[in-house]
Amino acid sequence: MPRTDAVLADPRLVEAAGRLGRAVVKDAVACAQHRVRQGALAPEEVADAAVAALPAHPASLRSVINMTGVIVHTNLGRAPLSPAAVAATAAAAGYADVEFDLASGARARRGRGAMDALARAVPAAEDVHVVNNNAAALVLVATALAAGREIVISRGELVEIGDGFRIPDLLVSTGARLREVGTTNRTSYADYRAAVGPLTGFVLKVHPSNFRIEGFTGSAGVAELRGLGVPVVADIGSGLLAREPLLPGEPDAATTLAAGADLVTASGDKLLGGPQAGLLLGRRELVERCRRHPLARALRVDKLTLAALEATLRGPATPVRLALHAEPAVLLRRAAVLAARLAEAGIDARAVPSEAAVGGGGAPGVTLESAAVSLPERLALPLRTGDPPVVGRVEDHRLLLDLRALPAGRDGDVVRAVLGAAGLPADGPEAGG
């Protein structure tokens, strides 16, 4: 058995230690030595095996090609950042003027560039603030405006989102009390008016973003509630800042503020297409109360989020927006080309129509016309565990690779991944493009 220090002296492993860290490299060597003890590896192959086992990056997260047909896929990290946001994040990764004015040499407002970009994106908001996610935004608003008081909310808006997370539990944890009004399917203005009183902190409207109630229903909108004499807070969820014609039922910040909401909260990593963040927009006095509350310090975002958010707001169209507006006919042509390349290599591949979804709790029930490459189901696992991983969805014993969220420049990567998953050479002419 070669000595550990002798193996670690291999120039390839010395270079890797500087890039990945000595502990990661040492673990790879230890695993190779264990294989020698098991008789699965020759002693002289330890260094080669350790090099082959090294990860590309020191972190365990891997970049994934999303072909599930869900644009904002929570399990795959929700919104992919735009190239502009990625570049901005890299620029801010070292020392950055996050709270420093380079001209005066004095302290400056934290994240002023991102706040200015957000304010410009939603002119109807008198002031804005950013925390680390939308749940944090709701916690901060409830704590600052209603701790020890009541939050009036419709029973039809006591929603549960992913992983058993419930909005009412979140609100109660702040010390506020919930005053539930109406019924699951119908809540009127009169229900709210009867509940509002001296103990009311605010009225909360929560957009039921991950489900729909149909049939005998009714609700009071923000415009009706503005005359109750207490602040109206609207959680719009998915992060649309302005109306999106493709999603007419999805609320946006500009329209909600114009209707009379005093505060709007939203997510930054859904339809906005930016980093995980919670956005607060609305009346200056209320935003300032939230910003100055001691809890705001615990919920603030870091410099990387601020940089990515500003670049998302100021920069070109995000991957989410491009995927949302992809032309179905173009997607079908791309799927046909991909399927033809794979079929030439002997793989059972077909171009088929598909249906995609917004995802991330946004636009429930809305389907987007799309296209996919249909493959044998047996390729699902090797594709998910390949490099890079490709994640599709299985329907009727076929693996569908939906192109709605795939940038056109990555079609060749998919061809190579499928060929590799099928055990075929991935460097031939059919893998080009």
In this structure, the answer to whether residues 158 and 274 fall within a common structural domain is yes
Kindly state whether residue 44 falls inside one of the protein's structural domains.
yes
Domain interval for residue 396: 65-75+321-431
Residue 386 pLDDT: 93
In this structure, the answer to whether residues 104 and 240 fall within a common structural domain is yes
In this structure, the answer to whether residues 367 and 243 fall within a common structural domain is no
* Cβ atoms within 10 Å, residue 68: 23
Kindly state whether residue 231 falls inside one of the protein's structural domains.
yes
Q: Average pLDDT for residues 51-67, to the nearest whole number?
A: 91
pLDDT tens digits, residue range 383-398? 999 989 999 999 999 9
Residue 210 pLDDT: 59
Q: Average pLDDT for residues 328-353, to the nearest whole number?
A: 97
In this structure, the answer to whether residues 265 and 212 fall within a common structural domain is yes
Separation of alpha carbons 389 and 413, rounded Å? 10
Local confidence band at 372 (pLDDT 50, 70, 90 cut-offs): very high
In this structure, the answer to whether residues 98 and 231 fall within a common structural domain is yes
Separation of alpha carbons 280 and 357, rounded Å? 26
What percentage of the chain reaches a pLDDT higher than 70? Answer: 97
User: What are φ and ψ of residue 222, in 5° steps?
Assistant: -60, -40
pLDDT tens digits, residue range 116-134? 999 999 999 999 999 999 9
Residue 428 pLDDT: 52
Output the domain CATH number for residue 143. 3.40.640.10
What percentage of the chain reaches a pLDDT higher than 90? Answer: 86
Q: Average pLDDT for residues 411-419, to the nearest whole number?
A: 97
Residue 431 pLDDT: 53
Separation of alpha carbons 4 and 73, rounded Å? 43
Kindly state whether residue 296 falls inside one of the protein's structural domains.
yes
Q: Average pLDDT for residues 369-391, to the nearest whole number?
A: 97
Residue 322 pLDDT: 97
Last residue of one domain, picked from the residues 268, 298, 315? 315
Give yes or no for a contact between 74 and 210, defined as CB atoms under 8 angstroms apart: no
In this structure, the answer to whether residues 299 and 390 fall within a common structural domain is no
> What letter represents residue 23's amino acid?
A
Residue 209 pLDDT: 62
pTM above 0.85, yes or no: yes
Output the domain CATH number for residue 391. 3.90.1150.180
Of the two residues 248 and 305, the one the predictor is more confident about is: 305
Angle between the 328-344 and 411-421 helix axes, to the nearest 10 degrees? Answer: 40
- Total domains in the fold of the chain: 3
* Cβ atoms within 10 Å, residue 13: 21
Mean pLDDT lowest for which of 160-164, 210-214, 316-320, 414-418? 210-214
Residue 429 pLDDT: 45
Q: Average pLDDT for residues 35-61, to the nearest whole number?
A: 92
Q: Average pLDDT for residues 347-363, to the nearest whole number?
A: 93
pLDDT tens digits, residue range 6-25? 999 999 999 999 999 999 99
Residue 84 pLDDT: 98
Residues 6+ apart with CB under 8 A from 163: none
In this structure, the answer to whether residues 132 and 259 fall within a common structural domain is yes
Residue 215 pLDDT: 74
Residue 420 pLDDT greater than 60, yes or no: yes
Task: Give the residue from 76, 87, 51, 69 showing the smallest Cα distance to 388.
Answer: 76
Last residue of one domain, picked from the residues 315, 338, 362? 315
pLDDT tens digits, residue range 140-193? 999 999 999 999 999 988 887 766 778 899 999 999 999 999 988 899 999 999
Kindly state whether residue 38 falls inside one of the protein's structural domains.
yes
Distance of CA 93 to the CA centre of its chain: 20
Local confidence band at 363 (pLDDT 50, 70, 90 cut-offs): confident
